Structures are given as C-alpha cells and as structure tokens.
Amino acid sequence: MAEHESLRTKKARQTRTALHEAAITRVLDQGLDAVTVAAIAADAGVSPRTFFNYYQTKEDAIVGLDTSSIDAQLVTDYVESDNGMETLAEDTANFVREALLVGTDPRLSTRRRQLFAAYPELVTKRFEQVEALEELVSAHVLARLRHLGQEFSSEDSAWRSARMLTQMCMVPLQHAGRVVKRSPDLVAEPGGTKDVYDDSLGLFLKVLDRLR
C-alpha cells in the first residue's frame, strides 16, 4: 500500500477485505446458493447497505477485486514519480501488483482456489474483473508514459502501448502466484508472498536486461 494511505482509505480497504473473507467463509461452509448478502454483511459487522457500497453481488465479494478505482495516492506516486525510463518496468510492475492486490489477503488464496474449483463460474467472474482492472491500470500507465515525455503517432497507438506495457509488467505477479500455488506454505513464512514477489521481480528485470 502507499505509505500515505489516508485513514478513510485504510478503513474502506479493511471493510472490503472483511466482506471478502466473510463471503469466502460462508460459501465454503454453506455452499454458494445458500449464502445471502445479508449473511455476509452480518459476518463482516456491517449493514447490507454498506455491502453494496463495495460489491454489487455476493459473487463479486467472493472474487474480492475492486474494479471501481485505484487508490489516488498510489496513482499519484506512480504517475508523477521523479524516476526516469530506466526504472519504468520495475515501477510499473510494482504499480500493477499494488493495484491488482489492494485489499486482498494472500492467506485466502488457497480457499479462493477451492471455491473456483467448486464453482467454475467464479473463475469467469474473476477474469472479467481482472480485465476491468487492467484497463484502469493501463490508463495510469499511459499517464506515466506521457509524464515521461513519450509521444505517440495516434491515440490508438498510445493506448496499445500502455496496454502492452501493463500486460508485460503483470508477469512478475503471475510468476509469483504460480510459485505460491506450488508451495502454499511460503505464505506463512516471514516476509511471505512479498519475498516471493520480490524474487520474481528480480528475475523479470534480469531477463529484460539480458534481452536488451
């Protein structure tokens, strides 16, 4: 998370995470069809009205991704960074990680996979939400490129470049996810998934350097 996360943003993130965890727990215990929004909200200690401030459906709560926006301070720190082109890949990979994982708890990943195996329709929902988040991220990546003075032949070219950079810089996160999937005990170790991600990012940057 951004170092200067506001109290309001922190509280919202905690509420979103509580709803996400409550949804997963309820569905694992009772099954998808038996679970209601009211029950999820009660388990998280909020009202159903508050639930709908964060998620549209119980399926959205299970997937747990926020497709409405990305933390404003996180965006500012990335887009207006004083860093130049030499750190663009690393900065973008870290931005992608923060944007896609905000409010998610890596300790819940095994339980999410259990649900996805039992309810394949949730996998489709997750793909849809990841794609929506990618589009949000790409807009900020394009803003960073323009902040660095990059020029494009057309708006279409600009967007294609931003989307390509975004997708490329998702590789360390995807690689780290596969490592944790193969060795789930890593989550419980000191440093947990952050160390796994840092190792994946280091490998990613090394490969890029060798390809130059």
Determine the distance from the C-alpha atom of residue 20 to the mean position of all C-alpha atoms in its chain, rounded to a whole number.
13
Against a cut of 0.85, is the pTM above it? Answer: no
Q: Does any domain span residue 46?
A: no
Overall domain count for the chain: 1
Q: Does any domain span residue 7?
A: no
Residue located via tokens 């500012």: 76
Q: Does any domain span residue 73?
A: yes
pLDDT tops 80 at residue 20: yes
pLDDT > 90 fraction of the chain, expressed in percent and rounded? 57
pLDDT in tens, 128-137: 888 888 999 9
pLDDT tops 60 at residue 189: no
pLDDT in tens, 133-162: 899 999 999 999 999 999 999 999 999 999
Q: Which domain holds residue 141?
A: 62-169
pLDDT in tens, 33-63: 999 999 999 999 999 999 999 999 999 999 8
Q: Does any domain span residue 119?
A: yes
